Structure 1
Amino acid sequence: MIKLVQNEMVKLVARKRLIVISIIVAILVGLFTYAQYKQTIEQQEKLGTDDWRVAVQTRIIDLTNRLSSSRMSDDQRERFQITLQQQQYYLDHDINPSEPGAPTFVKMFIENAGPMFIPLLVMVIASDLVSSEHSIGSIKLLLTRPVKRWRILLSKYLTLLLAISLIVAIVGILSFVISGLVFGYKGINAPVITGFSAANGELDFSNVKMISQWEFLLMDFGLVWFVAVVVGTLSFMISVLIRSTAAGMGIMLAALISGSILSSMVSSWDSAKYLFMVNLNLTGYLNGVAPPVEGMTLLFSIAVLLLWWLIAIIISFLVFTRQDVY
């Protein structure tokens, strides 16, 4: 099995997709770092101070004014009310929610990249693992080897898990190193609060606790990695079912984009909470973001994603071990 995985990793590296992904991540991190720097400077000039308390107070006033608008939808009003309560909590407990430094940037970047950007990078790798063998005609040679089909597919899946881990690590390392050149590397032990839970536009503070930023980052990266594995496994399944890499990528891209749209529109569609793409923003639960559908929790979303992962694994192995090759 180790030799099979090594062989798959050699093929993956030879396609240079990990290098391309690293370049894309480096460029985007650089752009976001510059944008964040410009925003920080502009905010300080506008407020006339670099005191974070003034920035939070200004944010509270802005949210209060926006909530007074009669044109706001109920979903927007609920999200703004929750954000307002969070900002007030930070102010009351003297906790800077935007402690300057690379760790804070990494936290922001990984939370925004987790539901869409990182799954897209993983999809590029996973959608090609099996279908590419059909495209170049090497599948016949691969299956004539004295190795059971399930072992061949398992080696490809283990390679996918290694690639996903590398992608998440690349995102974390590059975002930390590049942003640190601008913001510095302090703040790894800065206090972060988590444990918010939102319901009916109100925050529950009963489970709120303060932890170090490095602990929060570990939770963030763990949840993002889990989401990437689920999306990668679903892409892997489509790669087994559909022999066209382009078609497989198109299907997963449509699913991820539709999930991003549905997450802001399905509050009254209760059954939508069982769709995998509506449950991808796991890091939002750590920050008390209102779930797309009332009643959704972190454990519920993890359970739904685990079910989709299990179904994808079963279908992948059943189809690959029984399908005809031509």
Structure 2
Amino acid sequence: MKFFSLIQNEIMKLASKRSTWIFYVFIVLISLFLGIPIKIWIQSYIGNYVSFSSTVIMVCSLFITLFALVLGAQTVTEEYKDGTIKQLLIRPASRTSILMAKYISCLLTALLAYVLLFISSIAVGAVLFGTEPLAEQEFIVHLKSVLYALPDLIFMYTLAFVIGTVFRSSALAITIAVVMNMAGSVFAVLQYDWAKYLIFNNTNWTMYDPNPHVSEGLSPPFPGMTFGFSFTIYLAYWIILMGITIYIFRKRDIA
């Protein structure tokens, strides 16, 4: 129960920030900002509320990724900057519990933004473009596409969290995470056999979905790659990154 209390406390701290609520309001309203102009000025637009939601999420997912990167980069560094790290660590909870509570609470905050974007885009799409019957499995295909975007978001958030915690620099964490995200597509086209062990070749799980409407004809970039393989590589990277972070955070002297 102590651990869940730590998470609750961290979420309350995030909820008390005006910037968090401003971003949530922005995420909810952006569907209107996109939907109303399309409805008024693009008469040739042919789509339903699901296709509109897909368009909104495709356009706005970058904002949520950046929001997640900022959360991950700042959650520990702000404690050092504000001088509250000492008060945080004198609690009876272990440093590992405190660090993981911060990691989970910020991740949940970022994922909530994704949920809000999904719900608001569906709602606005239904109001503006109607709710006529969908093609078979169209909603399921859309939902899967949204869920398959999460592994990449979570990894980039984790990377920013790790760098911010280890180097105590939110600017460095955000910069490296953004550069790595942009460079991911470059690494992904490497044809060396060892490249299949790079994380960037193992975050897009849509290629393993049996539904061709979801996978869109994508196939693993290297022979022998399976969902189990990609999941194992993904988990290994996560464990290594978080293990290093926890070790350094536990051993670091707080002056």
Give the TM-score of the pair, scaled to structure 2: 0.80
Within 5 Å, which residues of 2 pair with 1:194-213? 212-213=137-138
Q: What SS does the aligned partner of 1:180 have?
A: helix
Partners of 1:292 and 1:267 in 2: CA distance:
13
| Shift, 1:28, TM fit | 4.5
Q: Is the 8 A contact 1:160 1:232 kept in 2?
A: no
1:190 aligns with 2:135: yes
1:268–1:29 CA distance, 2 compared to 1 (3 A): farther
1:174 aligns with 2:117: no
| Shift, 1:306, TM fit | 2.0
Structure 2 equivalent of residue 221 of structure 1: 146
Structure 2 equivalent of residue 288 of structure 1: 216
1:309 aligns with 2:238: yes
The aligned length equals: 247
Partners of 1:292 and 1:36 in 2: CA distance:
36
In structure 2, list runs of 5 or more residues that go unmatched. 209-213
Q: Which has the higher helix share?
A: 2
Structure 2 equivalent of residue 29 of structure 1: 31
1:36–1:5 CA distance, 2 compared to 1 (3 A): same
Q: What SS does the aligned partner of 1:128 have?
A: helix
Structure 1 equivalent of residue 4 of structure 2: 2
Partners of 1:319 and 1:281 in 2: CA distance:
30
Letter in 1 for 2:246: F
Q: Is the 8 A contact 2:75 2:102 kept in 1?
A: yes
Q: Is the 8 A contact 1:111 1:283 kept in 2?
A: no
| Shift, 1:124, TM fit | 1.7
1:324–1:176 CA distance, 2 compared to 1 (3 A): same
Structure 2 equivalent of residue 194 of structure 1: none
1:306–1:117 CA distance, 2 compared to 1 (3 A): farther
Q: Deviations over 1:205-246 (max 9, x none)?
A: xxxxxxx23333342333233333232222221221021111
Structure 1 equivalent of residue 83 of structure 2: 137
Q: Say which one has the larger Rg.
A: 1
% same residue: 27
Partners of 1:29 and 1:252 in 2: CA distance:
27
Q: Deviations over 1:35-61 (max 9, x none)?
A: 765896347xxxxxx7xxxxxxxxxxx
Within 5 Å, which residues of 2 pair with 1:227-246? 227-246=152-171
Root-mean-square deviation (CA), in Å? 3.0
Q: Is the 8 A contact 1:101 1:184 kept in 2?
A: yes
| Shift, 1:109, TM fit | 4.1
Give the TM-score of the pair, scaled to structure 1: 0.65
More moved, 297-306 vs 245-254: 297-306
1:248 aligns with 2:193: no
Structure 1 equivalent of residue 17 of structure 2: 15
| Shift, 1:138, TM fit | 0.7
Within 5 Å, which residues of 2 pair with 1:73-222? 100-110=47-57, 116-187=62-133, 189-191=134-136, 212-222=137-147
| Shift, 1:297, TM fit | 5.0
Q: Which has the higher strand share?
A: 1
Letter in 1 for 2:73: S
Partners of 1:113 and 1:300 in 2: CA distance:
30
1:234–1:7 CA distance, 2 compared to 1 (3 A): same
Q: Is the 8 A contact 1:269 1:293 kept in 2?
A: no
| Shift, 1:284, TM fit | 5.7
1:3–1:260 CA distance, 2 compared to 1 (3 A): same
1:322–1:39 CA distance, 2 compared to 1 (3 A): farther
| Shift, 1:162, TM fit | 2.0
Letter in 1 for 2:146: F
More moved, 310-319 vs 27-36: 27-36
